[in-house]
Chain A
Amino acid sequence: MVDTILETEGLTKEFRGFAAVSDVRLQVARGSIHGLIGPNGAGKTTCFNLLTKFLPPTRGSIRYDGRDITGMKPAEVARLGLVRSFQISAVFPNLTVLENVRLALQRQRGGSFDFWRGESLLRQYDDRAMQLLEDVGLTGYARHAAGQLPYGRKRALEIATTLALDPVMMLLDEPTAGMTHEDVDRIVTLVKRVAAGRTVLLVEHNLKVVEGLCDTITVLTRGRVLAQGDYATVSRNPEVQAAYLGTDPSIAGGTQHV
């Protein structure tokens, strides 16, 4: 019996009649690295936004860690340890790299509504923040504005910020999108390392990335689950090959919705 941490049932999202995601049943095993792949416009990011509550589903339910989170707000889901990253590198550009990570660590003290207290209070998190930055190789950038970092480093900072919340489950939206080869390798190694003791759901466009990384892969096309299994099983599936190589227009047509 597999211990499932995240489970969806009949998850559907329609935009004015267009079903971006329809009837998706997804089961993510605790402690695994689960890949969600598919061609452009397959509904990966929509699916992702549904799981993290950034979009309300039209139909269906989402269960996380034994509780129904379908009706929850995104901030609440984050507080339960289900933390996401974004496709476009989501940093706080005018804050320093250190402050970026510290903002996540600051969550430990609750809402931080105390506007009358000094910022020096937050220095208690500096050491932990520096550790996290060291983990992703950003020590030298701690005092720089996050917006000035090169693209690959921003992604690394994002992962450090996400990790700072000590998430039970991380959802990474195309962590290697738009990266050079060296950067991709570094991020893959990083994800592998930080996945220890956590569950990771990874949205990827790039099949090569998921190959060495994911325990289980779910393939989406045109909003539906096409196949599920480990890399070997999925990559041999003729429908999956067709969807990726575009040999069969009825399956590969997903791109037109981008």
Chain B
Amino acid sequence: MARRRGRAARDGVRSLGLLLLFCLLVAATLWSVATGSTRIPLATVWDAVSSFDGSREHLLIVMIRLPRVLAAVLAGSALAVSGAVMQAVTNNPLASPGLLGINAGASFAVVLVITLFGAGSGGTFIWVAFGGAALAALLVHVLGSFGAAGQSTIGIVIAGAVVASFLTALTSAVLIFDQNTLDAVRLWTAGSVSGRTMTQNASVAPYILAGLSAGLLLARHLAILSLGREAARSLGQNQAVWRTASIVVVILLAGGAVALAGPIGFVGLVVPHIVRLAIGVDYRWILPFSAIGGAFLVVVADLAGRLIFHSQDFPVGVTTALFGAPFFLWLARNRAGRPA
């Protein structure tokens, strides 16, 4: 009785925390839209969305700032959730979407296309990146479950390391001989949400939203997967099915994110850890917290990059680490490796 009440109270605190984090995300988003080379009052932001009149300020909001912050929200939540899913599936704290070869695949595809066909227009490579990421991840999944029918997570870990180092090696082999491609691709590689358009957001959003909802629905099965092979088997879970489903979710999420914002490594790896250190190991809470926390981190990092470095192009991949890492270090030092 007392334990049940304790759990209900803890869930209450967590719900409140989630709500608070969501409010923070909304506030950061609004602030981000209002801030820039010209400050725009929030009322105008609202007008631009509800009754667009084609003025300069409205154009600025609708064409530039909203797409940018939306890309940050989408990419941040997708990366964080896919990272949490990966860590649950492989049962390994070092796992991240990058382990599936997502980032290496996207980078290689983009570099290949630039080398062969030139930089093209817009500087973004949505479908190329998405395709490369998905192909690499599928390859890792097939190799990793080859023969042993997905029985061991070590298979996928090694397959991931192999495919990722193979593709990374190919990428650097191209880049160290082709300076033009290196110049064209290096800002994208750093991870950026600068100059994204609504069309790009709209084309990737369905995949990310599908991945997010599927991920949240999978939470219970992920919690069981994360207990390890023996425990999951004794609970009667069909691991091959749920592991495959989880991998599909990761491909949708991380593939979409890398297509939108480039290969950002930090969010997928670290946000799930931050959440776990802060609220505990229950995946039904880790996933929603990661979704909102990841979005919050990327929005704030992008905003901070613009405010502090006075540059529209400061890569968000750098600022996420710059602001997220100290917090993460503090948490890891104080919370990790002692009984919960």
State whether these chains interact.
Answer: no
A residues contacting B by CB (< 8 A) are none
